[in-house]
Copies of this chain bind each other. A is one copy, B any other.
Amino acid sequence: MAKYVYRFGGGTAEGSAAMKELLGGKGANLAEMARIGIPVPPGFTITTEVCRHFYQNGGEYPEGLEAEVRAGIEFLEAQTGRKFGDPENPLLVSVRSGAPMSMPGMMDTILNLGLNDESVEGIARKIAPRFAYDSYRRLIAMYGNVVLGFKDDRGDPFDRLMQEFKKEKGAETDLDLTAEDLKVLVERFKAYYRERGKEFPQDPWKQLWGAIGAVFQSWNNERAKVYRRLNRIPDDMGTAVNVQTMVFGNLNERSGTGVAFTRDPATGENVLYGEYLLAAQGEDVVAGIRTPKPIEELEHEMPEVYSQLLEVRKKLERHYRDMQDLEFTIEDGKLYLLQTRTGKRTGFAAVRIAVEMVREGLITVEEAILRIDPAEQVYQLLQPIFDPEEKKRARVIAKGLAAGPGAATGRIAFFPDDAVRMAKEGPVILVREETSPEDIEGMFASTGVLTARGGLTSHAAVVARQVGKVAVVGCEELEIDYEGRTVAARGITLREGDWISIDGFTGEVLEGRVPTMPSEVIQVLIEKTKAPDEAPIYRLFAELMSWADERRRLGVRANADKPDQAEVALALGAEGIGLCRTEHMFFAEDRLPHMQKALIAKDPTERIEALRKLSTMQVEDFEGLLEVMDGKPVIIRLLDPPLHEFLPKPEEEEKIQQIAAEFGVSVEELRARIESLREMNPMLGHRGVRLGITHPDIYEMQAEAIFRAACRLKKRGKNPYPKVMIPLVAHVNEMARMREMVDQVAKRVMEEEDVELQYQVGTMIEIPRAALTADEVARAAQFFSFGTNDLTQMTFGFSRDDVAKFIGEYIEKKILPDDPFATIDARGVGELVRIATERGKETRPDLEVGICGEHGGESRSVHFCHEVGLDYVSCSPYRLPVARLAAAQAALKRIDK
């Protein structure tokens, strides 16, 4: 028979850390801690299998569960010497969710379960009346919220009743209420139940089953679903339920609760980092309602507990070999761990912790590489910081806790919905009293988050770090007026939509829009304004990159059109140019008129003249680029866009008049020309190689410019390696004809210049047909580069320009797991990449095959490229570090989430 309940406590456990799928992260780690001798209150975990059964069977539990739960409670009774439901010495438990993947704060929790009208008296007698009624009113409120879903149009009714009562009593804080007061409050809470036709259940078993059901139900609440979608957590994973003996941080002044990280999650510094509150239950810290004290103060307040905590820290890091995020409770001077898990961290911290743990001998280089998220963590190290000069001039209006490093500047939004809307127009800083799980979509949309309350482990801080947002939290100076939509501090009042800047390294809040400057990595590598020795973040980055480069198989190239971009690319590790788009060479102000002339000219000599002028200019462009990349391959794509892009749109009356006048044609003629170039579906239109076939002179001009430039460099002792790329090939005959043309031009130019060049002619594979017939195409093409943007458009039949009309709904409704323009669709588009690679190499075993779509800098796509056997990926220069690390991870066969 299946086992649904796993016990832990008393120095041992039925589960272990390896059983996360079944027991959830929390349950598995509680079991693991129990096993390695860390003090945890005894408890048991109901498996995720029960959750799945619950959903597949309309809320029914599997047979046998009830008996196992009953036996679990008996185990707790034996461990604690208390009795569930006993009026004098009752066993009280917490009931918490715990999914296989962390979903902090998304699901429900109930504490102090087991109390009733009778046993609250027992506790009052045995421990203290105030503690007893404080615990009881919390249980009744939580049970009402969570199990019965009490909520009215004014929010949480129990919170409101509490506030009203405090006002009545003239109490400033909860602590000002006496045991008698709390007893009255309990009655008011129960009266609220009765008004709703309900009773607070006195039977602890009824409480327990109600709580278990509510936790399972909470797996599918709205915010949990949104969180899973954003974090790619499968809906059918399910949550476990942990039933655990209560320990009371609110028992007395020698009690308390806290959260801590074994290293600083913002910077990665190797210190215990956290905060605590005495005489409080855990929820008080996490919710950010009371601002807790920094963990260092515990050393003075409870030195013994503090040193115990340092011991636990060491033990857990040794055991888990990673930075841990802990929850603990102190009950009457005794430390209990309630949770440990691998801690979320910023990119800065991730890199520092990984590199330092290697140095400490705790992990291997490979583990370090695999631990860092290329896109979200490494990329952070390249993000801008404030320009110190500009920052000096800006006015600091407040200072809070630096919770997410980086520099962010944006317009103020006070509500998550506004943030989502305003973010479409430009960067937004979400300013809140505190954040809660409902706010995550707004946080995702914002560039930075600023809160007035909450500590470094508050919701805002945790989420910001996790998703790489700049965050300043607990900035208590701020006075936020939600209704008036203003925030004020130090005499300054800012309104919704005003600019504000926050420094996630220092916690400073600045008025206005403070200009940023490149990150330390960029300053060292590209701006060269900082020496490597003065740049610790750069040094960590460099070490990590060198490790990655030693381990990756995939080459990395950059998509860059101009010499300055190529220089950035080289500094960031490019081994070549994977895509030089030549469009800018036609659109630049001094060139467009020549191109237009070529398109409008009725006289062929005029047309040739115009193209010749363009050619001369392009020689310089190519010379610059090839010189920077000396010795490395440079793939230059011939003209791709449809010709109508070079002429005004039909509605641009003035431009048409002007151009007609300039080139001496009638407005009617020009209009007719524009009309003749118009297309219903330009994406599938007359562009790319189709122009090369029908307007061969443009491609010839470009080829000539490329070889002319390369010859000049060669004469100057350089070693240029141009690779001419033909876009939009669908049929080998297109490629064959272009290959012939380019080879002829190359031959002629090399003869004229008396120079021998190394070069190749290849194609972009971006049309399904080219992929399917790659064996044929490879007869003419010397290399392939997958243009996965267009390939995705045509494989899905999605127009990138129009897909926004439905792609959001597609992802929300889980029709598609991801936006295929962001992450390569391995099953469909990827199948074509696989087919083309195989078939291409059949014909030409030394065929070079790479990717130059925007997927080249996206880590899951890089993994795909590695697996499918591509030779390199090419991406925008600033994505190169992401690609390098992702390529190393792929080589280390990391199974990505």
Q: Which residues of A contact B (CB under 8 A)?
A: 679-686, 690, 693-694, 728, 730-731, 733-734, 737, 766-769, 772-773, 776, 790, 793-799, 801-802, 805-806, 809-810, 813-816, 825, 827-829, 831-832
The reply to whether B681 and A814 contact each other, CB–CB distance below 8 Å, is no
The reply to whether B796 and A767 contact each other, CB–CB distance below 8 Å, is yes
Tell me which residues across on chain B come within 8 A of A832, comparing CB atoms: 768, 772
The reply to whether A829 and B686 contact each other, CB–CB distance below 8 Å, is no
Q: A681-B802, A801-B680, A806-B693 are in contact. Are A795 and B772 (CB under 8 A)?
A: yes
The reply to whether A797 and B790 contact each other, CB–CB distance below 8 Å, is yes
A212 to chain B, nearest CB (A): 31
A795 to chain B, nearest CB (A): 5
Q: In chain B, what residue has the closest Cβ to A691?
A: B806
A681-B683, A681-B684, A773-B831 known, 16 other contacts, Cβ within 8 Å: A679-B799, A679-B805, A680-B802, A681-B681, A681-B801, A683-B799, A684-B793, A728-B797, A730-B798, A734-B815, A769-B797, A769-B829, A772-B795, A772-B827, A790-B797, A794-B797
Partner pick for A683 among B680, B734, B772, B828, CB 8 A cutoff: B680
Partner pick for A682 among B681, B773, B776, CB 8 A cutoff: B681
Q: A690-B806, A733-B816, A814-B733 are in contact. Are A684 and B798 (CB under 8 A)?
A: yes
Complex CA gap A797/B694 in Å reads 17
Tell me which residues across on chain B come within 8 A of A685, comparing CB atoms: 799, 802, 805
Tell me which residues across on chain B come within 8 A of A733, comparing CB atoms: 814-816
Complex CA gap A737/B814 in Å reads 10
Tell me which residues across on chain B come within 8 A of A680, comparing CB atoms: 682-683, 799, 801-802
Q: In chain B, what residue has the closest Cβ to A816?
A: B731
- 9 interchain pairs (CB within 8 A)? A681-B799, A681-B802, A684-B798, A693-B809, A693-B813, A731-B815, A733-B815, A734-B815, A768-B795
A420 to chain B, nearest CB (A): 19
Q: In chain B, what residue has the closest Cβ to A790?
A: B797
A586 to chain B, nearest CB (A): 20
The reply to whether A831 and B731 contact each other, CB–CB distance below 8 Å, is no
A805 to chain B, nearest CB (A): 4
Q: In chain B, what residue has the closest Cβ to A766?
A: B797
Tell me which residues across on chain B come within 8 A of A793, comparing CB atoms: 684
Q: A733-B814, A769-B828, A832-B768 are in contact. Are A686 and B802 (CB under 8 A)?
A: yes
Complex CA gap A798/B681 in Å reads 9
The reply to whether B682 and A684 contact each other, CB–CB distance below 8 Å, is no
Complex CA gap A801/B682 in Å reads 10
The reply to whether A684 and B802 contact each other, CB–CB distance below 8 Å, is yes
Complex CA gap A685/B805 in Å reads 8
Complex CA gap A41/B597 in Å reads 64
Q: In chain B, what residue has the closest Cβ to A729?
A: B797
Complex CA gap A804/B772 in Å reads 24
The reply to whether B816 and A794 contact each other, CB–CB distance below 8 Å, is no
The reply to whether A815 and B769 contact each other, CB–CB distance below 8 Å, is no
A849 to chain B, nearest CB (A): 19
Tell me which residues across on chain B come within 8 A of A825, comparing CB atoms: 769
